Amino acid sequence: MTTQTLDGVTVNTQANVYFDGKCVSHGIALADGTKKSVGVILPSTLTFNTGAPEIMECVAGSCEYKLDGTDNWVKSTPGEKFSIPGNSKFDIRVTESYHYICHFA
């Protein structure tokens, strides 16, 4: 069961562009002020650093991710989530564009 829409949100009209456009997201805020983002990662292998803990929810496409301190690439497909601790990092590799919601945990 994927989350196809988020309702009653405020969306930032300016995108966040990372890694020369391999990752593009738009920040949103829920009515209660909770911040999230919706984005897409195009085919690539990238390393992201976290500040706050994050939960990545796949809404279309897929990725493989590897958390810091592990050697396992794990696949994530639509409807699946994975969690990244704060002040950490993770590798992600994408062969078909990975569409996601990033929740700040």
| Residues in touch with a copy of itself (CB under 8 A) | 2-15, 17, 20-22, 24, 26, 28, 38-40, 42, 59-60, 97, 99-101
Nearest distance from C-beta of residue 71 to a copy of itself, angstroms: 30
Q: Which long-range contacts (CB under 8 A, 24 or more apart) does 65-72 make?
A: 65/90, 65/91, 65/92, 65/93, 66/90, 66/91, 66/92
Complex with a copy of itself: residue 2 or 47, whichever CB lies closer: 2
Count Cα atoms within 13 angstroms, Cβ side, for 54. Answer: 19
Nearest distance from C-beta of residue 82 to a copy of itself, angstroms: 16
Nearest distance from C-beta of residue 69 to a copy of itself, angstroms: 29
Q: What does the chain come to in residues? A: 105
Complex with a copy of itself: residue 11 or 105, whichever CB lies closer: 11
Complex with a copy of itself: residue 12 or 87, whichever CB lies closer: 12
